[in-house]
Each structure stands twice: as structure tokens, then as C-alpha cells.
Chain A
């Protein structure tokens, strides 16, 4: 299994969606609920019969809406398609009442619309507009960036604009992220060793980090608090942090993994916490204080911050932490292909490995209090 996402629109319950990959059986989407107080995991299964799931993402506005990229396999051809789905109503907010018989009553996803990619090639991923109302999505198909408008309560997807990356050779996007900054007008994509930034209004390239990694770039993430900061990871085992205003040199480089890094994620509220997953079967949680927004907390308007954060920033100045690896999680036995922070609890994260094992971990308590107090 490779596809993992938090339920973005859910802010109360800790819930992750996992898509399975199987060529010979019906694929499923598992809705994993984690009860933090009782330490109980609930699971609901939705059937996803069209094919194995390579990528999954949820709408930031509607808890019940999600998008998947899946492989449609015929005898001689494999095609990756994308579609927007709605899950049954009763599952939207979890199903605490029936943990036992979850395996018996499997339900089916309701297809909202299909993102037509016949002309564009294989879908690599689908991104929702981060702060939007769930009407805009962008998908990456081979060398095309496609922007869709969802209309009629997501029942219809209209291609609003698109652009293609031209160049010699067979260019293929591997992944992309939509920046939450700049009024959601920027996305970043990765193809081969290059990271590119795009403006969604003009669909033009705005920056390009050539040779960002020695080998293939696997994933990207935007710093949620610092608008120009971007993290990338790739096959050279490195995680690099970039300032998109100066793309010649990375701001910082981490070399902790011993194989390809597949995933990098900023914590949504404490951007010094960086989560990375790698095919060396490890998940590493790093504390990158030096390039986070925290040391410069006083430059942010105090009004925008909660009391809690305000307090914590003052503490921060008193005792700065060093950049360091906080913890290495070695529960997985196979390559970890996805890591995600929970959208509800900033101290919780899940990781998913090839063999289908999902591990939910917490940020160490000591560090949590250190950051908070």
C-alpha cells in the first residue's frame, strides 16, 4: 500500500485514509480512526473497485469527498486515472459505535466525477486547493499540469486550464504540492531531479531548481508558516530545504536516511517538526529549529497567534534548541512510502509501508512540552 492521507477537513477526530494496492483483488480504502484517549484504532473499509490506488487526497472543505489516482489495468496496458469520490454519509464522521463488525459491512464509494485524462497521460497525483472550498483541484499527468473546476456539487469536473512541460526526453512529473501561501496561487512540482514552481493563474513557471537532488526527486512540501520555504526529498537519501527566492543553494540538507526518501512533511502548526519516510524502512522525525518560523516569532503579529503559541515563542528565545533528529522509528519492516501528520492533532502522525503496515506515532512528550511551554 502506498496511498495515505489525513482527512483534511476533519479537525476533531484523528482520522487517516489508506488506499490499498492489489492487482488481483478488489482494492479498498480504509478509514482509520484513532481514539487518542483510549488508544483504540477503528477501521472502516470502503470498496474501490476500479483499480489499485497510487495516490489519495481529501477535500479540505468536505469531509466526505476524496480523490484517488488509480491504475486501470487491461491485458496489455496500464493506465493511471483519477476520480473524485464521496464516501457514505455515516462514515464521514467516523463510526465509533461499531468497531467489531467493521469487516462485515463493506460499503462502496460513490463516484462523483471522473477526471478525464485520455489526452494527457498517466495521473501522478491530485492536489486540492489548500484553503479553498473544495472546488479546485490540480492533477499532474505525465508532463501536464491540469487544473479542474468541480461544478454542480462536484458532480462535474471541467478542465479550466492546463499547461505542459516541454523539453527533450520523456518528462514526467513525479509529485507536486500546492502552496498554502500567496492566496493559493502557487504549486511546486517535481520531475526527475528538478523542482519547479508554477503560478496557477498564468500557468507559467516561476522558478526552477535544477538538479535539486543528485537523483530523482520523490516528494515536496511547503512550509506552512514561511511562504518561501520548501522541503524536498529524493533518491540521493537527502532531504533539502530551499528558499525559493534563491534556488542555487539549499538552505539546509539532512542526510539521515540510508536509502531513498519517499516522503517529507512539515508539521502543520510547528514547522520545525519534519517527518520523513524512506525505503530503508525508517521514519525519522527531525527538529529543524534553525530554519523554522519559530526563532523569528516576534516578527509575526502577536494578534494572529494563540496565547499558547505566544507564550511558547518567548520561551523559545530563552533556550533555543539545536537542529537534531528527534526520533527514528523502526517499526516498519519494509519500505515506508508515505508519512502524514494528523490534521486534528499536531502531535500525531501516521506512516505506511509497502507491506501494508500503518503505524501511528506521537511526538515525544518531552519535546512536545518543550515546544509548548
Chain B
């Protein structure tokens, strides 16, 4: 019965399971989690059902058939009810038959198990007796084994004793052999001998009261002493490489030689070695020439990078190694090491410096920088041992850099002079007629561009010194002072200053005292160059420099750009003034000679303008063209409308008598020129050799002023006849006609020519001026 209910339970469970999931609408919220749980435990529930049938159905332990039935009945249509009933009936039948089959099989197994248990009970009784037998046997065996071991114990002890004796004997044997071994190894393998001795020494010292051991000890001592002796000898006379040296000293230390003495020996030995390396380096340098005047030394065999490489790898390496081993051997107390290393390092620096001094040419800066960089890097290791050397090394590098910068400055100067030479040549070169040579602007542009280019190139080279990948560029010196003092001041500013000075030199120089005077065109060119520098180039260069070599805020004071500009401007002014003077003097000389050599008394009536005046006008026109190529036009003072007419007022009859003569009284000569004096009082004083402005008009005005003033003074020194006066009149008119257009203020020209005419009239024996129309006619014809 129980099985039947269980079977029906299981059957309804199988059928109700989908029911449960499907009837979630009808069931409460709590049933939903219960379903999966049930399924999870399903197998175990099924097993449990086999052992103890569960009366509950699949829909849960609280299955109520009444409710189920009511639900089914109310919800399902009749057809479905009938189908379900049939299905349930079928299922129940199938389950019943399954049940019966299972029950039958289980029953069979139960019977066979009962049989087996019965058989086991019989076997166990037999086995118990055999176990008792076994225990008795084991006891007998253990008793006999104890007997045997007791019998063997004595022999075993004796054996062990014998083994100990043998070990001792072997040790003794080794001790006895020590001297022999020592002797054998002392020659070839002192290190092994030392190890051997070190092992034996303690024992020997312990048993030294025994005569035989003492003998051994003494002997070994003697050997070791001898070894020490040999080592010392080796230390003294042989040239050892640092490793051997270190080993040797180490062994000696183990032999308990006095450390003081050894350290001294060590250093002297190391010194010899380092000296040798220095000497090798020195051998590469050409012999120092005390006189300093000998022919230039042959170029060094290897380049500087090579030299520094070798120096650092050989010398610095060795020094580091030795210093390291010294520390290891003699402890941290480097009291003796430091001065020693410092002295050697100083010598090394000196050598390197001499080598650097050989780098006279401009060579390859990158090579130099790399060499210095390597030097600096390699030295860093050494400097940890030797802090005092750091300054010296940095100083050395800085000095080399400065030296190089200086050399660049000189090269720049040479280059500039070369350029100037080229320009001079270009100016002096004879030009084929009809073909224009290179114009001044071209020359100026070429000169300026090439100088600027060179300067830029030099800056680029110098910048290598401060490149980021160069170790020493991070030194404070290279960050601050080098940029400002060496590069900006020492190179750029110095160059610009030098340029201005050189340019001025052309003006101030001993040009008038024999030395070949610079051609005027060159003066003009340089004046323009200086002016350009003042206007733009200097600020450009300085900006460029500041960009490439940023100055430190706290750095030393720098020369401000405006100061340089002022210098350049002063130079330009000086040059231009000089140009005016030179050109003016040339024209003036021509005029002076023409006035002085002519016989003004006996001259004939003027028919022409004198050739020299034409020449003057030609020259001034040429100068005008020349200046016009480089300088701007400049400002002209407003012209009076009657400019051409005013020129002849001097000769007009209304003024001439008043100025010259009839009123002259012997008693009052000072009143003679009262009129002209009054006129002068109101006119501006003319400075003849005065500074000019940077434009064409001003330059030409200066030249014209100089020329005309010369004419005036020369005329005053002569005595003229009537025709002489007329000739001067013609010349003056001619000049007036052609020169006014060049001058900034035609009144200046006018005033000077007036004075020339007045003076000529005064210096004339028979002052009869020429008819103005005739003068005009002659001039127009000329």
C-alpha cells in the first residue's frame, strides 16, 4: 500500500510538474522558487521515495487533492478532463507494473546477501589462530637480533677509532707537506701558496710548543718570508698591470706586511705606471717649443677625439682602477691617495690643455665638442674619488670652449677683412667700357649677406657646446656665463664692435700719412653697412643670439643693443663724413690747382666755361650716382620759385656798386663791407666740414660746400684782371646752373657763389662785370 501511494505520488509528480510551472498564475508567489528547488532535489527525493515512500504529490508537501480536483474541474472543459483522466489512469497502471518488477529484483538480492554473511562467519574463526602464530614468531626474531647486535658493538667502536686516527694522520701528513707545497707553489702560484699557508698557520701556531711542529712552522715562515721578499721585489721592479699590482699587494697584506709601507709602494708603483701612460700621451704632442717663435708645429698625428679617447681609456681608466683598489686594500682613508691622484690628474689636464692648444685651426667643432664631452664623461668617475678635480676639469672644458669662441671671432674678422678685400678688388677692377661692373648695392648685399651668413654659421658651431646631449652643457658655467660672457659678449658683441672699429679705422686711420687710402666708394659702402647694422642687423643678431643662447636672469650685465647701435651709427657717421671730406677734397684740389696756376691778370675775354668746371660738375654727378645707389634721396628745402633768377642778383647794377667800392674811404676801411656784413648777420653761418646726414642730398651738399668754399678762398688769394673776373663770373654761373639741384638748400650754393663773385670783384683791378645775358649765353653753349 505504501508503495502504491508512493508510486502514485511519483506519477502525479511527473504529471504535475509542468502543471506547477504552467499554473504559476494560480499558485502564490512562494511557489515559484520552490519549483526549481524541487527539481534540484528531485533525484534524491526519488531515491528517498524508494526507501521511504513520500505520501505527498509533486505539487508540494501540502498537496490537497480536493483543491486540485476542484480547480481542474472548474477550469478545464470536459474533453480535457476526460483526456487527463485517461492519461492519469494510464500512468498509474504503468507505475504499478514497474513497482512490482523492482520489488521482485530486490528481494532476490537480499537473499543472496544473507547467504554471503553466513559464509563469512565461518572463515573468520580460522584466521584468528594463524595470527597468534605469527606473533610468537616475531618475538623470537627480535630476541635473537638483540643478541647479535650486542656481540658486534665492540668491533664497531674500534673501527671508528681507527678511522679518526687515520684522518689525524692525514692532517699531520698535510702539515708536514706544507713547506714542500709552499716551496713548490711559491714560485709559480703564490696565491695558492698563500691559501695553503693561511690554512696551516693557525694549527702550527697552536702546536708550536712541539718541536717537530715548530720546525715545520719555522720552515714555512721562512718560505713565506722568502715569498714576501719575492713579491716585494716584483712589486718594485716589474711593470705590473693594475690587476697584478693589486693582487700582489693583496698577498703582501695577507703576509702581514706593514700597510703604511705597502701603500707607499703601491702608490709609487701606480705612479710609475701612470707616468708611463702620461709619457705615451705626451709623446704624441709635438715637443714644447720654449721660444714659441719656431715654425708652426706639424699637425698632430691623431685628431683630438682620438687623443682624448686614448687618454681617457688608458690614463683615466687606470687611475680609477688603481684608486678603487687602493680603497679596497687600505680602507677608506684616502689621505695619501688624494694628493697623489690630484697631482697626476693635474698633469693630465696640463697635457690635455697642450693638446687643445694645438687645435689652432677651426677644424671640426663637433669633433672638439665630442672630445670634450667624452673627456668630461670619463672624468666623472674619477671625480667621485677626487672632488677637487671637478673644478679644474670644468675650468679646462670652459677654457677650451672660450678659446674656440675666441678663435671663431678671429676667423670672423679675417673673413670680414677678406670680404672687404674682395670688395676693394671689385671696386678697383678696371671695367670694360660700356659695361657696368657690379653695382654698389650688389656689393653691399653680397658683403652683408656673407658676413651675416658666416656669423650664423659660427653661432651654429658654437651652439654645439650647449647641445643637450653634451654632458658638460649642464654645468652652470655653460648654462649661464658661457652664453652671456663668452658667446654674446665675447663673440657677437665683440665682432660688431670690431666691425665698427675697423670701419672707423678707414676714416680715422693714417690714410693721409702714406698708407694706401681706402677708395671713396668703399667708405660709402661701409657707411651704409654700418647704418644697416644700426637699423636692423644688430638687433637681429642679438635676438638670434639670445634665442640660441638664452641668457640667465642673474647673469652678468650684457651690452644692450642700443649701445651697439649707437656705436655703429657713430662709425657710419664718421665714415660718411670722411667720405664727404675725401670727395670734397678731391674736387677742391682740382679747383685750387685750376685757380692757382692760371694767370688771372693776363687772361683773355672768356669765351667758354673752363674745362675744370665741367669736370667738377661731371665728378659731382658721378658722386651723385654713386651715393644714390646706397642712400635715400633725403629732404630738400623748399625751393623758391625764382631760383634761377636769384643767381644773378649779385651782378645786377643795383647792388654791385653799393658793395664794392665807391663808398670806400681810406680812413674807415672797416665800413667797407658793412652792407655785406649786415647781410651775413642775417644769413645762417655755414659750417663747411660739418657732419652730414644719411641721405644723398646731405652728402652732396657737404661736398659742394667744401668745393665752393675752396674756390672762394683761392680766388681771394689772387689778383684778377677784368677778364679774370668775367671768367669767374662765367664759371660761377655755370656751377650755379648745374649744382643747385644736388644741394639740399640751394641758398647755400647761392650764398657761396655770391661770395665767390664778391671776392673776385674785390680782388679785381678793373671790376667790370660781364653782361648777364652774355654769361648766360656762354654757359648754355658750354
Cβ–Cβ < 8 Å partners of B585 in chain A: 214-215, 236
Cβ–Cβ < 8 Å partners of B688 in chain A: 258-259, 280
Nearest residue (CB) in B for A250 is B513
Q: Give the contact-size bracket for chain A.
A: 35 or more
Does the CB pair B672–A356 fall under 8 Å?
yes
Does the CB pair A258–B512 fall under 8 Å?
no
Cβ–Cβ < 8 Å partners of B589 in chain A: 215
Cβ–Cβ < 8 Å partners of A210 in chain B: 514
* A-B residue pair count with CB separations less than 8 angstroms: 87
Task: Tell me the bound Cα distance from A249 to B664 in angstroms.
Answer: 48
Cβ–Cβ < 8 Å partners of B677 in chain A: 333-334, 355, 357
The answer to the question of B81 belonging to the interface, with a C-beta cut-off of 8 Å to chain A, is no
Does the CB pair A333–B661 fall under 8 Å?
no
Does the CB pair B601–A211 fall under 8 Å?
no
Does the CB pair A45–B713 fall under 8 Å?
no
Chain B CB within 10 A, most for which of A280, A281, A330: A280
- Of A77, A214, A333, A335, which contacts B512 at CB under 8 A? A214
Task: Tell me the bound Cα distance from A1 to B670 in angstroms.
Answer: 10
The answer to the question of B330 belonging to the interface, with a C-beta cut-off of 8 Å to chain A, is no
Can you list, as one digit per residue, whether each of B716-733 has a CB less than 8 Å from chain A (1) or not (0)?
A: 100101000000000000
Does the CB pair B719–A73 fall under 8 Å?
yes
Does the CB pair A211–B514 fall under 8 Å?
yes
Q: Chain B interface secondary structure, helix, strand, loop or mixed?
A: loop
Does the CB pair B689–A259 fall under 8 Å?
yes
The answer to the question of B741 belonging to the interface, with a C-beta cut-off of 8 Å to chain A, is no
Task: Tell me the bound Cα distance from A28 to B661 in angstroms.
Answer: 16
Task: Tell me the bound Cα distance from A259 to B752 in angstroms.
Answer: 14
Task: Tell me the bound Cα distance from A38 to B672 in angstroms.
Answer: 27
The answer to the question of B44 belonging to the interface, with a C-beta cut-off of 8 Å to chain A, is no
Does the CB pair A71–B719 fall under 8 Å?
yes
Cβ–Cβ < 8 Å partners of B661 in chain A: 24
Do A280 and B687 form a contact, CB below 8 Å, given A22-B664, A25-B664, A25-B666? yes
**In whole Å, how far is B596's beta carbon from the nearest beta carbon of chain A?**
9
Identify which of residues 659-695 in chain B touch chain A, using a CB-to-CB cut-off of 8 Å.
661, 664, 666-670, 672-673, 676-677, 680-681, 685, 687-690
Cβ–Cβ < 8 Å partners of B614 in chain A: none
Cβ–Cβ < 8 Å partners of B689 in chain A: 237, 257-259
Task: Tell me the bound Cα distance from A75 to B661 in angstroms.
Answer: 20
**In whole Å, how far is A40's beta carbon from the nearest beta carbon of chain B?**
16
Task: Tell me the bound Cα distance from A279 to B716 in angstroms.
Answer: 12
**In whole Å, how far is A304's beta carbon from the nearest beta carbon of chain B?**
37
- Of A1, A24, A78, A259, which contacts B669 at CB under 8 A? A1
Cβ–Cβ < 8 Å partners of A213 in chain B: 512
Do A23 and B664 form a contact, CB below 8 Å, given A334-B680, A355-B676? no
Task: Tell me the bound Cα distance from A134 to B687 in angstroms.
Answer: 42
Can you list, as one digit per residue, whether each of A23-54 has a CB less than 8 Å from chain B (1) or not (0)?
A: 11110100000000000000001000000000
Do A23 and B667 form a contact, CB below 8 Å, given A76-B602, A215-B589, A280-B688? no
Task: Tell me the bound Cα distance from A4 to B676 in angstroms.
Answer: 23
Task: Tell me the bound Cα distance from A73 to B721 in angstroms.
Answer: 11
- Of B666, B719, B764, B765, which contacts A28 at CB under 8 A? B666
Task: Tell me the bound Cα distance from A249 to B666 in angstroms.
Answer: 47
Cβ–Cβ < 8 Å partners of B673 in chain A: 334, 355-356
**In whole Å, how far is B582's beta carbon from the nearest beta carbon of chain A?**
9
Cβ–Cβ < 8 Å partners of B588 in chain A: 215
**In whole Å, how far is A156's beta carbon from the nearest beta carbon of chain B?**
30
Does the CB pair A211–B669 fall under 8 Å?
no
Task: Tell me the bound Cα distance from A336 to B735 in angstroms.
Answer: 26
Cβ–Cβ < 8 Å partners of B370 in chain A: none
Cβ–Cβ < 8 Å partners of A259 in chain B: 688-689, 709
The answer to the question of B763 belonging to the interface, with a C-beta cut-off of 8 Å to chain A, is yes
- Of A1, A78, A330, which contacts B719 at CB under 8 A? A78
Identify which of residues 202-230 in chain A touch chain B, using a CB-to-CB cut-off of 8 Å.
210-211, 213-216
Does the CB pair B687–A211 fall under 8 Å?
no
Identify which of residues 224-274 in chain A touch chain B, using a CB-to-CB cut-off of 8 Å.
236-237, 248-249, 257-260
Task: Tell me the bound Cα distance from A73 to B688 in angstroms.
Answer: 32
Nearest residue (CB) in A for B513 is A211
Do A236 and B512 form a contact, CB below 8 Å, given A106-B666, A356-B669? yes
Task: Tell me the bound Cα distance from A71 to B589 in angstroms.
Answer: 25
The answer to the question of A103 belonging to the interface, with a C-beta cut-off of 8 Å to chain B, is yes
Cβ–Cβ < 8 Å partners of B685 in chain A: 281, 330
**In whole Å, how far is B439's beta carbon from the nearest beta carbon of chain A?**
29
Does the CB pair A73–B716 fall under 8 Å?
no
Task: Tell me the bound Cα distance from A22 to B661 in angstroms.
Answer: 10
Identify which of residues 497-518 in chain B touch chain A, using a CB-to-CB cut-off of 8 Å.
512-514
Identify which of residues 100-119 in chain B touch chain A, using a CB-to-CB cut-off of 8 Å.
none
Cβ–Cβ < 8 Å partners of A106 in chain B: 666-667
The answer to the question of A354 belonging to the interface, with a C-beta cut-off of 8 Å to chain B, is yes
Do A73 and B666 form a contact, CB below 8 Å, given A258-B687, A259-B688, A355-B672? no
**In whole Å, how far is B424's beta carbon from the nearest beta carbon of chain A?**
21
- Of B601, B669, B676, B762, which contacts A76 at CB under 8 A? B601
Do A24 and B765 form a contact, CB below 8 Å, given A76-B602, A211-B513, A279-B709? yes
Task: Tell me the bound Cα distance from A335 to B709 in angstroms.
Answer: 10
Does the CB pair B765–A23 fall under 8 Å?
yes
Does the CB pair A78–B601 fall under 8 Å?
yes
The answer to the question of A189 belonging to the interface, with a C-beta cut-off of 8 Å to chain B, is no
Cβ–Cβ < 8 Å partners of A25 in chain B: 664, 666
Cβ–Cβ < 8 Å partners of B681 in chain A: 333
The answer to the question of A186 belonging to the interface, with a C-beta cut-off of 8 Å to chain B, is no
Cβ–Cβ < 8 Å partners of B762 in chain A: 23
Task: Tell me the bound Cα distance from A24 to B764 in angstroms.
Answer: 9
Cβ–Cβ < 8 Å partners of A214 in chain B: 512, 585
Cβ–Cβ < 8 Å partners of A335 in chain B: 713, 716
Nearest residue (CB) in A for B765 is A23
Nearest residue (CB) in B for A71 is B719
Cβ–Cβ < 8 Å partners of A211 in chain B: 512-514
Can you list, as one digit per residue, whether each of A3-37 has a CB less than 8 Å from chain B (1) or not (0)?
A: 00000000000000000101111101000000000
Task: Tell me the bound Cα distance from A103 to B601 in angstroms.
Answer: 33
Does the CB pair A103–B667 fall under 8 Å?
yes
Does the CB pair B713–A23 fall under 8 Å?
no
Nearest residue (CB) in A for B674 is A355
Cβ–Cβ < 8 Å partners of A279 in chain B: 709, 713
Nearest residue (CB) in A for B716 is A354
**In whole Å, how far is A138's beta carbon from the nearest beta carbon of chain B?**
22
Do A45 and B667 form a contact, CB below 8 Å, given A211-B513, A334-B680? yes
Identify which of residues 448-492 in chain B touch chain A, using a CB-to-CB cut-off of 8 Å.
none
Does the CB pair B670–A357 fall under 8 Å?
yes
Nearest residue (CB) in B for A104 is B667
**In whole Å, how far is B271's beta carbon from the nearest beta carbon of chain A?**
59
**In whole Å, how far is A234's beta carbon from the nearest beta carbon of chain B?**
11
Task: Tell me the bound Cα distance from A151 to B321 in angstroms.
Answer: 106
**In whole Å, how far is B214's beta carbon from the nearest beta carbon of chain A?**
98
Cβ–Cβ < 8 Å partners of B666 in chain A: 25-26, 28, 45, 106
Give residues in A with beta carbon < 8 Å to B: 1, 20, 22-26, 28, 45, 71, 73, 75-78, 103, 106, 210-211, 213-216, 236-237, 248-249, 257-260, 279-281, 330, 333-335, 354-358
- For this complex, 21 residue pairs linking A to B, each with C-beta atoms less than 8 Å apart, are A1-B669, A22-B669, A23-B763, A28-B666, A28-B669, A45-B666, A45-B667, A78-B601, A78-B719, A106-B667, A211-B513, A213-B512, A215-B589, A216-B592, A249-B513, A257-B689, A258-B688, A281-B685, A330-B685, A333-B681, A355-B672
Closest 8 A/B residue pairs (Cβ): A103-B667, A214-B512, A259-B688, A258-B687, A355-B673, A258-B689, A333-B680, A78-B719
Give residues in B with beta carbon < 8 Å to A: 512-514, 585, 588-589, 592, 601-602, 661, 664, 666-670, 672-673, 676-677, 680-681, 685, 687-690, 709, 713, 716, 719, 721, 762-765
Other CB < 8 Å A-B pairs besides A23-B764, A28-B666, A215-B585, 19 of them?
A1-B669, A24-B664, A71-B719, A73-B601, A76-B601, A76-B721, A77-B601, A103-B667, A106-B666, A211-B514, A213-B512, A214-B585, A215-B589, A216-B592, A259-B689, A279-B709, A333-B680, A333-B681, A334-B677
